[in-house]
Amino acid sequence: MQADTQTSPVLASVLMVSAMAIIGVIDNVVILVAETIGLWQFHFSRALLMLPLIMGLSLLGLGRLRPIRLGPVILRSVLITLAMLFYFASLALMPIAQALAGLFTSPIFVLLITTVAMKQRIGPWRILAVAVGFAGILCVLQPNPGEFDAKTLLPVAGGLFYAFSSVITRSHCAQESTTALLAAMVTTLGVAGAVGLIVLSLFPGVPVAGPEGFVTRGWVWQMGPAIPWIIVQAIGSTIAVFMLIKSYQIGETSYVAVFEYSVMIFGPLFAWRVFGQNIGVLQILGICLIATTGVLLAWRSTRPAATEAAS
């Protein structure tokens, strides 16, 4: 059953967009990290840096570290970890456009979960907003449907697990401290990184230089060039994910999830400005569609629920 908590759609949307702005910037540095170390070392090292920061948040009075209901918190953390592993594994097998397009099917899965499994009524305007936002993502990323391969289902599986974690955040973890949820998630990702490093040490693969070897690369001792970018990721992720979790706790899942599309506004714009990556006409159209989604949802959230139901 959904927790009986106060919902604040405006604050939830502000927190989510702010979190996506940070993530859209700091995720651009992952390609710099991938030049030196591997995925598993990245998650393990970042977790070691993030956990003291999260403890600091708790000491500042921003939430307790001990979960109220350990089971749902662990389940949520495992689901997010699986989502990230599927997504990053797909990066080694396909273009990043396809991987991101698959991962960002998560709001569609959220809509299906909340309407079918949880029997919650979703108005036609939110369904339209999800469709418009998803169309915008396709325009921005420009995946090629003519080259379908079963491997393209990997990031879609990531989107499915991420959707489940989003729903659980609101329905079973709304009473949890945001700090506790963040700590559990980072710990699980760190454990996954450690397990990956152990497996690769026992069964090492063929070394591949550069970002192409990000997923299959084991522990790298000469990680000096990657350390500053791991620190940036650790600090930025701590702040952004804290706001993201809080957003899902105080906002309805199907409403908040669509605002995650805004990461595809901040990310490409930052990459264009700093790394010189061009944005085409179709991508600009996609960004406009994503922005339209946010405006539409914000407008509908200010109208009485009865009016939306009647429409």
Most confident option among 12-26, 88-102, 107-121: 12-26
> Is pLDDT of 76 > 90?
yes
What count of other Cβ atoms lies within 10 Å of the Cβ of residue 157?
19
Dump pLDDT digits (tens) for 239-296. Answer: 998 898 888 778 776 677 778 778 777 877 887 787 776 767 877 787 778 767 766 7
Which residue type sits at 311?
S
Distance of alpha carbon 262 from alpha carbon 17, whole angstroms: 6
The CB-side HSE value for 266 (13 A sphere, CA atoms) comes to 18
> Is pLDDT of 43 > 80?
yes
Dump pLDDT digits (tens) for 153-210. Answer: 888 889 899 889 888 887 788 788 888 988 999 999 999 999 999 999 998 878 788 7
Q: Which residues, at least 6 apart from 293, have a Cβ–Cβ distance to it below 8 Å?
A: 129, 130, 132, 133, 136, 258, 261
